[in-house]
Amino acid sequence: MIPPLVTGISPKEGPAGTKITIRGENLGLRANDLISVQICGGECSFEWQSKNKIIARTGINGVKGKGDVIVTTSSGGVGNCTVQFRTYVESIGPLKESAVWVEETPIQSLTWGQRRMVTSSYHSQEDPLSLSIEGNDKKFTEDLREIFPENSGDLSRENFSPYWFLLENHHATSFDDLKAGYSYLKRKVEGQKEGQLSFLKTHVGAVIDQLDTMMKLKDKIDNNGEVEIAERIHNLQGTISQSIDSSHALFDDVLMRREKADKSRAALSVLNRYKFLFCLPMSIQKNADNNEFDIIVNDYARVKNLYSGKVDIPLIKRVLSEIDEIILEVRKNLHNKLKEMPQAVEQQKKFVKCLINLEIQQFGTKQYERLKINDPAWDSLFCRARYIEETFKRTYEEFQEREVQAKENNSVKRDQNSLPIRVLFCEEINEIAAGQFPDLWRLGQSYFTGELRGINEPKPGNFKQIILNVIEKFCCYIRSSILPNYYQKFSSVPPWTSNSSQQALISTWLPTCLRYLRITYSSLIRLDLPNEVLDVVLKLIDELRLFCLLTILKKSIDKVKRLDEKEGWDMKVEEFPGATALPEKFEEILAESLDEGQQMCLQLEVRENPLFDGIHNLEGYHEVSKIIETALGCFSTVIEELATQRSDDEIHPLPRHNITGFPVNTSLNDSKSTAISTITITWEHRLLYCLANAAYCNKMFINNLGNLFTKYGYPIPKLALENGRSNMNMVFANLLEIYVELKNDTIVSHIEPSMFSSDNFSWNTIEKCDKLSFWANQCLDNIVGVYLEIFAVSPFLLRPILEQIIQTIAEELSRLMNSVEQFNNCGRVQAILDIKMIRDSLKLYNNERAKLSFNEAMDAIPKLSNDENRYVDELLKSIKIQRRIQLMCLNVVNPS
Amino acid sequence: MSKKPSTGPISLHKVIMVGSGGVGKSALTLQFMYDEFVEDYEPTKADSYRKKVVLDGEEVQIDILDTAGQEDYAAIRDNYFRSGEGFLCVFSITDDESFQATQEFREQILRVKNDENIPFLLVGNKCDLNDKRKVPLSECQARAQQWGGVPYVETSAKTRENVDKVFFDLMREIRSRKTEDSTKASGRAKDKSKRRKLKCTLL
Ligand SMILES: Nc1nc2c(ncn2[C@@H]2O[C@H](COP(=O)(O)OP(=O)(O)O)[C@@H](O)[C@H]2O)c(=O)[nH]1
Ligand SMILES: [Mg+2]
């Protein structure tokens, strides 16, 4: 039982009595099935035409304004409508244009006749106030209808309202004119009141004429007799009935023609419908082939509408069921199509919607029962997710394969500028993710807003988990391809068929990969994904940032290792004479990588956290610290090696002055490593420079490096700097030892030979002592020579070096004195003089051990008498005066 | 048919048929609505039709106002046009006068709607009578082009050629126009509410 539905009315508005064509569905199976038609709440007269069409005429009792058109049938009950009719009041005269044809129906014919006379007389007459109505356009008629719903401006109406009339016709007339009109009207009414007598008076001539005529007529009738009249009447009657007959005949003819026209039209439309029905299976097939599923949906709806319900004709039934079979196929087809990938989301949604629509329409047929699809929208969602994962996997395998092939084909010759395969993979997978993931998410949104809801309750799976899985996979693939193994502890994907040389090759491309990933990340952020999902990507970004930073910093280690090539031996450091430009170069390298790292990895983009933020990522900073420590260690090694390694041409020992032990500056020494400046730099000088560098680094430079870290936004790696310093300290100690050893060779080991240079020298055979011994003189000369050598490089180095040397001298003297078997008197005085002279000259650099050894040396000599002592002191004084220029430098307390 | 999916109120697209009298506006409307062709000519005043159709998989309602073409009603047309969201401007390819008249209709619509881009199709009807064609195809297309590239389609209410097409094409334009407007009007605010709703279902 399907209720009637009105979907069209023609016209949609009009006054009471309008003839209306009503169209729609199920408007009655036959004429007597139609019970009533109500328009705007009023009953209508009606004529049933077909189950889709009724002709009705609105009654006078309907409500004015907009109202429903309700058709009631006994087969379908009270119906519905999608359109509304508007009734309004309109007086219609012969001079008024009308959109509807005013028919001469019995309801109106009475008033019609009256009205015509009145209104025509009104219209032909002047204005009742005898005023011109020019400039008084009737523009308020609609409004007046609302203000005076009960009244009318029509003079002939019972409900005439003077207000209406005046407002309508004289809203622009001046007050004086109105007054004049009023008096005119009054005069006219007065005139009419004078009564019939005055009327007769004015028309007396005509009245007498009429009376005469009537008298004549009476005479004629009296003369002619009654028979003739009767005959005439009879004739008249015959003519009248004849004309009635012929008019009937005429009318019947028209009616018949109309009926015929109706019939052939009905036949045509039936034919059309059958054509549509019988062609439908074919056209569905055709449209399905062309993917025009919309048309199928609409055609199917049309056929369902035209032939739904009781169709008893077996042929039609067969066609209908055939159509349902085809629709079933179409549904299957659609279900497959919506799972097909790749395709655009909109396309997929369209398939889902068409499928859902067909299901709704086919619901209830036996074909519907044969294919039940639970939740097609979910299927489409699931397939899309699976497709993305598959694409990831396929791409992953494909690029691995490519890498292997590339290696086989031209492992030798590789274009340095072309991106490594893994980086290409990284770019590709990011493109896939950024391109396809938003589609998945949007489809999901459509799903959960109910846009794709079908006939059954939706049965969503765990969409969030699916999303998480996709993103997780994406991250794992990137990890496998570009990050080292230890980042892949919990990876859900197979590792990249590893090849560590390739791994090393991509390190310079890591920032590029990071860029790709960040672009994807920001596009994911724009989708407004749940935080949990975004955090998965964020974690990978953090890992990549850290790894990238470590790689950048590690690169600096290699550069540090090659710093030795950069040493130019030019002293540049103001606050520490002797230190070269090398530490500055080290700082440059470090600054460069810190800067690069800061730009690539520390700078934050949307929704990222600082890489080293308090306790966050302590482990990561530990790694950084370790690299810095290594770099500093390498730097120490560079300094040490620069000091100890002699280049090839220096392996031959330089000719030395056999007394001072000084290397002779030869112009022959033109080797590349030493001829950087015009001054030739000897090995000892380099040793001293390196010592100065080590001391400078240890005392100032490394500590100042902390500022560099602060400047680029890194936490200061205190431990690394501290360890670097202690390393440097060790280098200093080593180099010091080498240098002291070297000098001891020339100074200390010369004491004994020079002491016993004359063949039979003995402390027991000295005859005269009025000056320093030869050996003491030579020793002092040598010390001053070393002093000058050091001083030329760095006064800071004087104390540590000289203290060591003096100590060794003192020890040597103590050893020598203790091994003397016997002193004669002169020998005793000479020995004390020599030792005291050496001791006093160097007293600024005597440490405790040196003092002790000097004392031991003097204790080994038998005691001098007071006279002898005085003699020694005086002699000492005069020698010091003699040599004061030479000794002066040794006594400068703070040489610089 | 049984239970419908409950997806909120379905959208309504208001279409108005304009064009001179006798060009086939009513015939097109009735063919689209009821698959029937009316041979005889009854002047229309203003007819109203409304039904559900499926547009790109989405169920929508189309409301058709079939108007009078006659000069006499020019004044009341203003009122009708105001409520229209899209217009099918019909002429008969067998009647040059009706083609000339479209210019005036177009101007009236633009004046009333005050919108250059109102969804609008120029429809040349009675294309089954091609042998009696009075308006060359090139001229029709030129006019459509001149009107800012509105689509031009030839139809036949008699053979049903392109009847569905003109109504569906117009509805698509109306729909895309509406989504454009609503995104312009409410911008992100609307998107957000949608998203929030989604998250609730999700989490
Ligand atoms: N051959 C033919 N006749 C048509 C076509 N459309 C309408 N007609 C006829 O043209 C006349 C006027 O049609 P109608 O729809 O009432 O015109 P309207 O005034 O624009 O509504 C009617 O007699 C129709 O049968 C058509 O496509 N082909
Ligand atoms: Mg019409």
DSSP string, A775-814: HHHHHHHHHHHHHHHHHHH-GGGHHHHHHHHHHHHHHHHH
pLDDT at residue A286 greater than cutoff 70: yes
Alpha carbons within 13 angstroms on the beta-carbon side of residue A1 total 9
pLDDT single digits (tens) A301-314: 888 877 876 678 88
What is the share, in percent, of chain A residues with pLDDT greater than 90? Answer: 27
Domain boundary residue, one of A202, A226, A248: A202
Residue A846 structural domain: 758-891
pLDDT given for residue B73 in this prediction: 60
pLDDT single digits (tens) A594-604: 999 998 888 88
Are A438 and A520 in contact by the 8 Å Cβ rule? The answer is: no
**Disruptive mutation site among A5, A9, A82, A533 for chain B (greatest number of B CBs within 10 Å):** A82
CB–CB contact A297 B51 (8 Å) = no
pLDDT given for residue B127 in this prediction: 94
User: Is A7 near chain B, with CB under 8 Å?
Assistant: yes
pLDDT at residue A668 greater than cutoff 60: no
CB–CB contact A363 B37 (8 Å) = no
Q: Say whether both A620 and A763 belong to one domain.
A: no
pLDDT given for residue B84 in this prediction: 92
Structure tokens at A896: 């610089």
Whole-number Å distance, alpha carbon B48 to ligand 2 midpoint, is: 11
- In this predicted model, which residue has the larger pLDDT, B192 or A149? A149
pLDDT given for residue B185 in this prediction: 67
Provide CB contacts within 8 A for B192, sequence distance 6+: none
Q: Say whether both A369 and A396 belong to one domain.
A: no
- The residue contributing the CA closest to ligand 1 atom 1 is B126
What chain B residue is nearest to A277 in terms of C-alpha separation?
B35
Q: Say whether both A123 and A197 belong to one domain.
A: yes
pLDDT at residue A215 greater than cutoff 80: yes
pTM over 0.80: no
Q: Which residues of B touch A363 (CB under 8 A)?
A: 1-3
Partner A, chain B 80-119, Cβ-Cβ below 8 Å: none
Q: What is the CATH number of the domain that holds A36?
A: 2.60.40.10
pLDDT given for residue A418 in this prediction: 75
pLDDT given for residue A106 in this prediction: 34
User: Is B7 near chain A, with CB under 8 Å?
Assistant: yes
Report DSSP state, residue B71: G
Q: Say whether both A302 and A163 belong to one domain.
A: no
Structure tokens at A600: 């690539």
Report the distance separating Cα A188 and Cα A166, nearest Å: 18
CB–CB contact A8 B37 (8 Å) = no
Report the distance separating Cα A823 and Cα A857, nearest Å: 13
Domain boundary residue, one of A54, A87, A120: A87
Closest ligand, as measured to the CA of B90: 1
Note whether residue A841 is domain-resident. yes
Q: Say whether both A359 and A423 belong to one domain.
A: no
Q: Which of A10, A84, A528 sits opposite B195 (nearest CB)?
A: A528
User: Is B34 near chain A, with CB under 8 Å?
Assistant: yes
User: Is A271 near chain B, with CB under 8 Å?
Assistant: no
Name residue, tokens 């000519």. Answer: B41
Q: Which residues of A touch B1 (CB under 8 A)?
A: 304, 360-361, 363-364
User: Is A100 near chain B, with CB under 8 Å?
Assistant: yes
Q: Say whether both A682 and A580 belong to one domain.
A: yes
Average pLDDT (A855-878) is: 90
Q: Is residue A764 very low, low, confident or very high in pLDDT (cuts 50, 70, 90)?
A: confident
CB–CB contact A298 B72 (8 Å) = no
Q: Say whether both A503 and A445 belong to one domain.
A: yes
Note whether residue A812 is domain-resident. yes
- The residue contributing the CA closest to ligand 1 atom 26 is B126
User: Is B195 near chain A, with CB under 8 Å?
Assistant: yes
CB–CB contact A356 B203 (8 Å) = no
What chain B residue is nearest to A356 in terms of C-alpha separation?
B57
Note whether residue A647 is domain-resident. yes
Whole-number Å distance, alpha carbon A412 to ligand 2 midpoint, is: 84
Note whether residue A441 is domain-resident. yes
CB–CB contact A356 B5 (8 Å) = yes
The Cα angle at residue A687 between residues A685 and A689, in degrees rounded to 5: 70
Q: Say whether both A286 and A350 belong to one domain.
A: yes
CB–CB contact A10 B5 (8 Å) = no
Average pLDDT (A364-373) is: 87
- The residue contributing the CA closest to ligand 1 atom 24 is B39
Q: Is residue A91 very low, low, confident or very high in pLDDT (cuts 50, 70, 90)?
A: low
Whole-number Å distance, alpha carbon B143 to ligand 2 midpoint, is: 24
What chain A residue is nearest to B72 in terms of C-alpha separation?
A97
Closest ligand 1 atom to residue B40 Cα is 23
- The residue contributing the CA closest to ligand 1 atom 25 is B39
Q: Is residue A615 very low, low, confident or very high in pLDDT (cuts 50, 70, 90)?
A: low
Average pLDDT (A793-809) is: 90
Structure tokens at A710: 């602060």
Q: Is residue A481 very low, low, confident or very high in pLDDT (cuts 50, 70, 90)?
A: confident
Q: Is residue B189 very low, low, confident or very high in pLDDT (cuts 50, 70, 90)?
A: very low
How many structural domains compose chain A?
A: 6
**Disruptive mutation site among B26, B32, B35 for chain A (greatest number of A CBs within 10 Å):** B35
Q: Is residue A421 very low, low, confident or very high in pLDDT (cuts 50, 70, 90)?
A: confident
- The residue contributing the CA closest to ligand 1 atom 12 is B22
Note whether residue A818 is domain-resident. yes
User: Is A14 near chain B, with CB under 8 Å?
Assistant: yes
pLDDT given for residue A678 in this prediction: 40
Domain boundary residue, one of A331, A353, A373: A373
The Cα angle at residue A27 between residues A48 and A45, in degrees rounded to 5: 40
Instruction: Tell me which amino acid residue B169 is.
Output: D
Report the distance separating Cα A474 and Cα A433, nearest Å: 7
Question: Which residues line ligand 1 at a C-beta cut-off of 6 Å?
Answer: B 19, 21-27, 38-41, 44, 69, 125-126, 128-129, 156-158
Note whether residue A254 is domain-resident. no
Report the distance separating Cα A502 and Cα A506, nearest Å: 7
| pLDDT, averaged across chain B | 84
Note whether residue A556 is domain-resident. no
CB–CB contact A297 B48 (8 Å) = no
| pLDDT, averaged across chain A | 82
> Ramachandran region of residue A28, left (φ > 0), alpha (ψ -120 to 50) or beta?
left
Are A444 and A460 in contact by the 8 Å Cβ rule? The answer is: no
Provide CB contacts within 8 A for A486, sequence distance 6+: none
Q: Among B16, B23, B40, B99, which is best to mutate for testing ligand 1, by the most ligand atoms less than 8 A from CB?
A: B23
Q: Say whether both A73 and A34 belong to one domain.
A: yes
CB–CB contact A8 B198 (8 Å) = no
pLDDT single digits (tens) A166-195: 887 777 777 877 887 887 787 777 766 666
Q: Pick the range with the lowest mean pLDDT from A231-235, A520-524, A710-714.
A: A231-235
SS3 of residue A595 by DSSP:
helix
Q: Say whether both A401 and A334 belong to one domain.
A: no
Work out the minimum CA distance from A49 to partner chain B, whole angstroms: 14
pLDDT single digits (tens) A423-478: 889 999 999 999 999 999 989 988 888 888 887 887 777 888 999 999 999 999 99
Partner A, chain B 154-193, Cβ-Cβ below 8 Å: 160, 164, 168
Q: Among B37, B41, B42, B128, which is best to mutate for testing ligand 1, by the most ligand atoms less than 8 A from CB?
A: B41
Instruction: Tell me which amino acid residue A243 is.
Output: S
Q: Count A/B contacts: CB-CB distance under 8 Å.
A: 135
User: Is B56 near chain A, with CB under 8 Å?
Assistant: yes
Q: Say whether both A383 and A363 belong to one domain.
A: no
User: Is A415 near chain B, with CB under 8 Å?
Assistant: no
Most confident of A456-465, A705-714, B1-10, B120-129: B120-129
Q: Among B40, B99, B102, B158, which is best to mutate for testing ligand 1, by the most ligand atoms less than 8 A from CB?
A: B158
- In this predicted model, which residue has the larger pLDDT, A121 or A812? A812
Q: Say whether both A444 and A522 belong to one domain.
A: yes
Closest ligand 1 atom to residue B126 Cα is 27
Structure tokens at B170: 């117009």
pLDDT given for residue A662 in this prediction: 44
Query: DSSP string covering A414-436, please?
Result: --TTSPPHHHHHHHHHHHHHHHH
> Ramachandran region of residue A823, left (φ > 0), alpha (ψ -120 to 50) or beta?
beta
User: Is B3 near chain A, with CB under 8 Å?
Assistant: yes
pLDDT at residue B1 greater than cutoff 50: no
pLDDT single digits (tens) A70-89: 999 989 899 999 999 988 87
Q: Pick the range with the lowest mean pLDDT from A262-266, A537-541, B20-24.
A: A262-266
- The residue contributing the CA closest to ligand 1 atom 2 is B126
Of A341, A344, A319, A330, the closest CA to residue A287 belongs to A330
Q: How many C-beta neighbours within 10 Å does residue A12 have?
A: 21
Q: Which residues of A touch B51 (CB under 8 A)?
A: 7, 82
Strand-pair partners of A24: A6
Note whether residue A229 is domain-resident. no
Report the distance separating Cα B123 and Cα B93, nearest Å: 9
Whole-number Å distance, alpha carbon A8 to ligand 1 midpoint, is: 18
